[in-house]
Amino acid sequence: MGKTLYQKVWDAHTVGTLSDGRTQLFIGTHLIHEVTSPQAFGMLRDLGLKVKYPSRTFATIDHIVPTINQDEPA
């Protein structure tokens, strides 16, 4: 039986298998927002790591935009 689309995408993005059996995947696009991204970048800084492909990063503000009274200052 052939592979599902999910299996094909998973296989195409597999970098390796960790000693505990988990799969390490290549993530080609980073979607960041204002809630958890500061902690993630802080962790990278603390570990002395850099974002591998910063040009593949897309940012959005999605948690602080009001749904009512949008014309009033925050």
Per-residue pLDDT of the chain (74 residues; tens, 9 = 90+): 899 999 999 999 999 999 999 999 998 898 898 888 889 889 999 999 998 889 999 998 877 777 788 787 76
pTM of the model: 0.53
State how far the Cα of 68 lies from the Cα of 74, in Å rounded to an integer: 11
Pairing outcome for strands 57-60 and 14-17: unpaired
What is the per-residue pLDDT for 68?
82
What is the per-residue pLDDT for 74?
61
What is the per-residue pLDDT for 5?
98
What is the per-residue pLDDT for 18?
96
Cβ atoms 33, 60 nearer than 8 A: yes
